Amino acid sequence: MTLSHLDEAGRARMVDVGAKDVTARVAVAEGRVLMSAAAFDEVERGSARKGDVIGAAELAGVMAAKRTSELIPLCHQIALDRVTVVGELMPDWPGVRVVATVAATARTGVEMEALVAVSVGCLTVYDMVKAVDRDMRIEAIRVLEKSGGARGTWRASGPLDTSAREVVS
């Protein structure tokens, strides 16, 4: 298998998607911020010094998805039809789960936009709570599923925790 972002000489290149069909594309990604019980308490009570942690993370994720091509070299600019970012309190961890659903009608997928949305959402949680817990961990950022394009639907192997995932119709 060859890497699509390398030319015959091994140089990085932007993939030519001009001949691909325009199709409805959707990607769902997730990530986690694990934190101390004290930090989780601040987030749950809404008493973090910087304000509404979940709301800020959700908004930051949406804003980031729209700027993916500026952040990731060789990504195409894509007009996004919809970006939804959901932050969910997970008391059993304790922490916050961030899930992003991105949709577009385009010639290329939106996995990178979903991953960027989740990453920046998680980073925003970290930034807003770091005064309480500098030992937080951001982890498990991954694509859960994608659909559209020539290859159709793909889902991550293993069980999916869909409690915060928007239903894709």
Question: What residues contact 50, with CB distance under 8 A and at least 6 apart?
Answer: 56, 127, 128
Crossing angle for the helix pair 53-65 and 37-45, nearest 10 degrees? Answer: 90
Question: What residues contact 169, with CB distance under 8 A and at least 6 apart?
Answer: none
Q: Which residues of 79-111 are buried (b: 16+ CB within 10 A; e: fewer)?
A: ebeebbbbbbebeeebbbbbbbbbbbebbbbbb
Sign of CA dihedral 147, 153, 154, 155: positive
CB atoms within 10 A of CB 59: 16
Per this entry, what is the length of the chain? 169
Q: Which of 81, 92, 127, 133 is catalytic?
A: 127
Instruction: Note if 133 is an active site residue.
Output: no
Residues designated catalytic? 127
